[in-house]
Amino acid sequence: MEAIKNYISEHKERFISELIDLLKIPSVSADTAFTQDVLDTADAVKKALTDAGCDAVEICETDGYPIVYAEKIIDSALPTVLVYGHYDVQPADPINLWTSPPFEPVIKKTDKHPEGAIFARGACDDKGQMYMHVKAMEYMVRTNQLPCNVKFMIEGEEEVGSSNLAIFVANHKEKLANDIILISDTGMIANDVPSITTGLRGLSYVEVEVTGPNRDLHSGLYGGAVANPINILTKMIASLHDENNHITIPGFYDNVEELSKEERAEMAKAPFSLENYKNALAIDAVYGESGYTTNERNSIRPTLDVNGIWGGYTGEGAKTVIASKAYAKISMRLVPNQDWKEITDLFKKHFESIAPEGVKVVVKPHHGGQGYVTPINTVGYQAASKAYETTFGKKPIPQRSGGSIPIVALFEKELNSKTILMGFGLDSDAIHSPNEHFGVWNYLKGIETIPYFYQYYTELFKK
């Protein structure tokens, strides 16, 4: 299959420019200011899937943003791969920290991407990685090498919790029936250390509001005499971790899977340099739960982070005010066996219970999802591993990720299929951050690797 390399080489410029066009549409699902852009992106994805040779490409309406569905069924005796991805992106702010505008993609070289990387919101998460599948499909269809049936399901609400996708999946089990689900929305260790993600953390995302007095007050006249919602909020949030950085919510750890010494020793073999990690982030020390390594803290352990906080006067200069309200967005990353709805309830109950007299507290659950662990002894994993080995020249390492793709656990439940997470991004690609990018090499490598997965999976499946 040197053919794929030649095909990529021939169409490389077009593959890049098509992705750049897709990245220009600001499909920020979290912000209603971008509603039309998100809808336009769905249309663009529909067109791309049609051009790639899919049949029955359709925009499936939901109560939120639509799901783009497509399929190419060549023989019902052959296995069916369901490709999932998302066309929505994270908000771009803080915009002022971008070195180029988030929706005006440019290619720049970086230390890790000497062949250049495409800088744009969504470049890696997930437009770029999703589009690899579209281009791999194009190659397989145009060269008559598609070895099995394929279905595409590309949604527009991954960054806001996929709640409508969950309904869609539950209502279309037959339409979505498949043998294996393939997703590229994760990363790998390094360009010369390929890896396959075998675990994802779950997520519970909430917003809290603390209300004190019914109006903003002069901090001189009222300071010290009434509960200041910001001070209270800081106290409440601070109390959520103890001095060992364990989370203090009663029951939080009840169902946490404890890995054996052997499993932890196996994990510790993954290449990792604490010095490089600290240098890349410009921090003088790491920080986290006592008793666990950095790689354990961000993969096998649950966490609680404030993602945003605001209240009072945040403009230029000084204002001596006691705010009436203070807010925070808080998310918890969960590990397998922790149920996100149960954890959300535990958080809400606990957070409300620690509110002192003098304030009112509201906890509003945003969204969440279960954690997931993929077994590595399946045909799907073996096909993926062999595909990486073919194109990277070395066997990929199985690796647990700290991130969440809430829908993966749901797929298993509703569609009874395992998911293979073939990610081609790097941790340093700044997804969810300013200056998100995706290596051109990685993009093309993904397009090259995916057809091998189809080939090997179909071969192994037959056996």
- The letter for the amino acid at 274 is L
Q: Are 125 and 64 in contact (CB under 8 A)?
A: no
Taking CB under 8 A as the criterion, which residues in 23-52 touch a second copy?
Answer: 29-32
- What is the Cα 58 distance to its own chain's centre? 24
Nearest distance, CB of residue 15 and a second copy, angstroms: 26
187 binds a second copy (CB under 8 A): yes
Q: Which is nearer to a second copy, 2 or 258 (CB)?
A: 258
Q: What would the x/- binding string for a second copy be over residues 398 to 417, using CB under 8 A?
A: ---xxxx-------------
Q: Which helix (H) or strand (E) segment is 181 a member of?
A: strand 180-183
For a second copy, the closer CB: 315 or 393: 315
The residue from 60, 235, 414, 459 that contacts a second copy (CB under 8 A) is 235
Residue 189: burial class (beta carbons within 10 Å; 0-12, 13-18, 19+):
middle
- Residue of 2, 13, 174, 284 that binds a second copy (CB under 8 A): 284
Tell which one of 59, 170, 281, 376 touches a second copy (CB under 8 A).
Answer: 281
> What's the CA gap between 248 and 406, in Å, rounded?
24
Out of 76, 99, 144, 214, point to the residue binding a second copy (CB under 8 A). Answer: 214
Chosen residue from 221, 244, 269, 377 binding a second copy by CB under 8 A: 221
Is 312 a binder of a second copy (CB under 8 A)? Answer: yes
| Residue position matching structure tokens 């990720």 | 401
Q: What distance separates the 2 farthest-apart alpha carbons in the chain?
A: 80
Residues 174, 80 contacting (CB under 8 angstroms):
no
CA distance 177 to 450: 20
**Can you tell me which of 2, 238, 258, 261 binds a second copy, judged by CB under 8 A?**
238
Among 316, 377, 393, 463, binds a second copy (CB under 8 A): 316
Which C-beta is closer to a second copy: that of 1 or that of 321?
321
48 and 41 Cβ atoms separated by less than 8 Å: no
Q: Which stretch binds a second copy (CB under 8 A): 42-50, 253-261, 276-284, 449-457?
A: 276-284
**Residue of 108, 310, 349, 395 that binds a second copy (CB under 8 A):** 310
Phi/psi at 323 (nearest 5 deg)? -70, 150
Phi and psi torsions of 124, nearest 5°: -100, -40
φ and ψ at residue 221, rounded to 5 degrees? -75, -30
Nearest to 155 by CA among 260, 42, 234: 42
Tell me whether residue 34 or residue 152 sits nearer to a second copy (CB atom): 34
Q: Is 91 in the site for a second copy (CB under 8 A)?
A: yes
Q: 3-class DSSP state for residue 28?
A: strand
- Single residue of 432, 441, 459, 460 touching a second copy by CB under 8 A: 432
Residues pairing with 118 in the sheet:
107, 438
Instruction: Show contacts with a second copy in window 147-166 (CB under 8 A).
Output: 159-161
- Measured from the CB atom, the residue of 77 and 285 that comes closer to a second copy is 285
Quote the least distance from Cβ 2 to a second copy, whole Å. 35
Of 402, 12, 427, the C-alpha closest to 191 is 427
Find how far residue 345's CA is from the centre of its chain: 23
Stretch that binds a second copy, among 13-21, 36-44, 137-145, 228-236 (CB under 8 A): 228-236
* Interface segment toward a second copy; rule CB under 8 A; list 66-74, 101-109, 203-211, 260-268: 203-211
**271 Cβ contact list (under 8 Å, min separation 6):** 189, 190, 193
Is 437 a binder of a second copy (CB under 8 A)?
Answer: no
| 451 touching a second copy, by CB under 8 A | no
- Is 250 one of the binding residues for a second copy (CB under 8 A)? no
Q: How far is the CB of 104 from a second copy (least distance, A)?
A: 20
Task: Using the rule CB under 8 A, give the single segment among 164-172, 210-218, 383-391, 448-456 that binds a second copy.
Answer: 210-218
> Would you call 208 helix, strand, or coil by DSSP?
strand
| Minimum distance, C-beta of residue 123 to a second copy, in the bound complex (Å) | 14
Nearest-approach distance from CB 330 to a second copy, in angstroms:
9
Q: What residues form DSSP beta bridges with 89? A: 28
- The HSE-up count of residue 168 (CA atoms within 13 Å, CB side) is 23
Q: Is 414 helix (H, G, I), strand (E, B) or coil?
A: helix
Give residue for tokens 């194009």.
138
285 binds a second copy (CB under 8 A): yes
Minimum distance of a second copy from residue 209's CB (angstroms)? 13
Among 114, 223, 250, 271, contact with a second copy (rule: CB under 8 A)? 223
Separation of alpha carbons 118 and 107, rounded Å: 4
- Residue in 167, 226, 268, 376 binding a second copy, rule: CB under 8 A: 226
**363 beta partners:** 208
